[in-house]
Amino acid sequence: MKRVMIGGMRHESNMFNPVYTDLNAFKLRRILYGREIVNERRNTNTETGGFIDILDKSGIEMVPSICGQAMPAGSVAENAFVEFLSVMLDTLDCNTVDGILLSLHGAMVGTEHDDGEGYILQRIRDKVGVEIPISVTLDFHATLTPLMIETADFLTVYRTYPHMDMADRGREAASVLIRIMNGDIKPVMAFSKQPMLIGPPHNVLPHDYPMKHVMDRAREIERDVPGIIAACPAQGFMQQDVPHAGTGVVVTADNDLKIAQKYADELGDMMFSYRKKYIVDLPNPEETIKLAMNSGNPPVAIADSGDNIGGGTPGDGTALLHEILKQGVDSAFVPLWDPDAAQEAAKVGVGAQITLEVGGKSDSLYGPPVKITGIVRTITDGVFLNREGKGYWAGVKDNMGLSVRIDVGKITVVLNSISTSPNNLMHANAIGVYPEDYRMSVCKGGLAFREAYKPPAANSYIQSDTPGYSSSNLNNFTYKKIKRPMFPLDEI
Ligand SMILES: [Zn+2]
């Protein structure tokens, strides 16, 4: 019986967030060890859920190692790499395997490694040699590097954003691995890079033009060109100051590097040719709230794009809450990461009135804190299940930490102790909040929250130019290592 090691380490590292992501940050979202991976991820919409589905059906023995991801934040500390790699390498020491499946991100940067995934793949490749195939899933926001291409046998990248095809990509990576192990194919990968930093809240959704042209062409190439195994555009991650920053395309062909390179170049040129069309002008917080108040199509979901938790920010920005209160908005839902305020509010208990300062404490960029007076309505430990059938991380248990709902008239403020991105509506529903009941909701996200915030939770969207580490105004950041010229920082 053939044996395959499965594992994963995922993080989107925002290098402009000064708070490092250490091992503890991975533990907060739970690290799964050994059989826990199979028990917790089977039948979930995750990459490992997809691996398990295919391996179960193929009668291949699973050798689970370690799997975990931390909420995006600053660069990953060395103690996290040490833990994940030591378990993966020990697993390989103790077991003979015929192949390896890894769920990685592609935009992970370590305090000691510009290319976190390349480093992991290199260490594993050094351990197993060239004979054992390694098949990998990456996020659409992966920053492709030569080391990743060199060390893996197959890389596949999400095709959706909001990311909904995690399990599908896991199935794809596992299916390709099995074909390699059976000797049916000999994949070779070629890639192209473009000098372009794009991302949320730019106009970059793969199901909207102009990116849809690129994604449609990639599917056409996979379908129509004999020998092409996968064609994957990757958007990269804007808040990364690394030598290989920028968009990229990886194309895998069966034993034909020339054809792989031809289509990687074609798709890369195509993606780059639309560069000016990705850029959008965004309203400032004051204009945003005016627009939301006057919207003829409520409920409105407002992207707090500078404080996009999924893009590595703290989630305590108060720019929009400040305007909501100042402009006398009649109905709004505003979640904030603020563990101290959550503690303070939990102490007074359900039903009590409280006056306290919320948010704006992590960095002066996100402040100042806002004083509110309201009634404590709900206190929870913040543990919830991502329930929606095929939704973001469906089937996975998540944790917002101690969370408190305070109603300030018809403005509901929810204080979380662990930053939680709004990509599954359960982040609100779990504390009794239904965004469809409000005129507007503040979403600490760039674009991914739209999968959760669709009718009836939201009928329209406004992307707001709020301050923070995930701002799309790249002139707010000082880049030192990226190659220049780089669009849109430089005119190309
Ligand atoms: Zn992503």
Tens-digit pLDDT profile for residues 322-343: 999 999 999 999 999 999 999 9
* Residues in Cβ contact with 454 at an 8 Å cutoff, skipping those fewer than 6 apart: none
| Beta-bridge partners for 333 | 412, 441
Residue position matching structure tokens 């028990």: 39
Residue that the structure tokens 């190439």 belong to: 221
pLDDT tens digit sequence for 217-251: 999 999 999 999 999 999 999 999 999 999 999 99
**This prediction's pTM:** 0.94
Please give the DSSP secondary-structure letter assigned to residue 13. Answer: B
Ligand 1 midpoint to CA 143 (Å): 11
DSSP character at residue 449: G
Q: What angle do CA 479, 482, 484 make, to 5 degrees?
A: 100
Residue written as tokens 């509010």? Answer: 345
Instruction: Output the average pLDDT for the chain.
Output: 96
Query: Separation of 6 CA from ligand 1 center, angstroms?
Result: 21
User: What does the alpha-carbon distance between residue 37 and residue 185 come to, in Å, rounded to a whole number?
Assistant: 29
Rounded Cα–Cα distance for residues 431 and 439 (Å): 18
Q: From the CA of 309, how far away is ligand 1's center (Å)?
A: 11
Of the pLDDT bands very low, low, confident and very high (cuts 50, 70, 90), residue 392 is: confident
Query: How remote is the CA of residue 140 from the centroid of ligand 1, in Å?
Result: 5
The Cα 288–Cα 284 span in angstroms is 6
Closest to 176 in 3D by CA, of 230, 220, 102: 230
pLDDT category at 95 given cuts 50, 70, 90 is: very high
Q: Lowest-pLDDT range, 61-70, 84-93, 384-393?
A: 384-393
Q: How many angstroms separate the alpha carbon of residue 405 from the centre of ligand 1?
A: 29
Q: What is the pLDDT of residue 164?
A: 92
Distance 47 CA to ligand 1 centre (A): 13
Using H for helix, E for strand and C for coil, what is the string for 133-161? Answer: CEEEEECCCCCCCHHHHHHCCEEEECCCC
- Tell how far the Cα of 13 is from the centroid of ligand 1, in angstroms: 11
For residue 442, give the nearest of 322, 282, 326 by alpha carbon.
Answer: 322
Encode pLDDT of 269-296 as tens digits: 999 999 999 999 999 999 999 999 999 9
Q: Are strands 300-304 and 440-443 parallel, antiparallel or unpaired?
A: parallel
Q: Are 126 and 92 in contact (CB under 8 A)?
A: no
pLDDT at 390 over 70: no
Q: How far apart are CA 474 and CA 388, in angstroms?
A: 35
**Confidence bin at 313 (pLDDT 50/70/90):** very high
Ligand 1 centroid to Cα of residue 391, in Å, is: 15
Q: Is 294 exposed, middle or buried (0-12, 13-18, 19+ CB in 10 A)?
A: exposed
Going from the Cα of 11 to the center of ligand 1, the distance in angstroms, rounded, reads 10
Contact yes or no for 70/11 (Cβ under 8 A): yes
Tell me the two tokens of residue 26: 């991975």
Q: Ligand 1: distance of its center to the CA of 476 in Å?
A: 21
187-221 pLDDT tens trace = 999 999 999 999 988 899 999 999 999 999 999 99
Q: What is the pLDDT of residues 2-12, one digit of tens each?
A: 999 999 999 99
What's the CA-to-centroid distance between 49 and ligand 1, angstroms?
Answer: 18
Distance 216 CA to ligand 1 centre (A): 19
Distance 160 CA to ligand 1 centre (A): 9
Find the helix or strand (DSSP H, E) in which 4 lies. strand 3-10
- Cα of 439 from ligand 1 centre, angstroms: 28
Q: What's the gap in Å between 447 CA and the centre of ligand 1?
A: 10
In the reported structure, the alpha carbon of residue 349 is separated from the centroid of ligand 1 by a whole-number distance in angstroms of 38
Cβ(177)–Cβ(183) under 8 Å?
A: no
Of the candidates 324, 282, 310, 354, the one whose C-alpha atom is nearest the C-alpha of residue 441 is 324
Q: Of 67-71, 443-447, 473-477, 482-486, which gets the smallest average pLDDT?
A: 473-477
Q: Residue 388 and residue 45: Cα distance in Å, rounded?
A: 10
Compute, in angstroms, the gap from residue 107 CA to the centroid of ligand 1. Answer: 9
> Residues near 345 by Cβ (< 8 Å), separated by ≥ 6?
354, 356, 376, 379, 404, 406, 415
C-beta of residue 403 within 8 angstroms of C-beta of residue 416: yes
pLDDT at 472: 87
CA distance 181 to 403: 47
Distance from Cα 195 to the centre of ligand 1, integer Å = 19
CA 14 / ligand 1 centre spacing (Å): 12
Q: Say how many Å lie between the CA of residue 141 and the centre of ligand 1.
A: 5
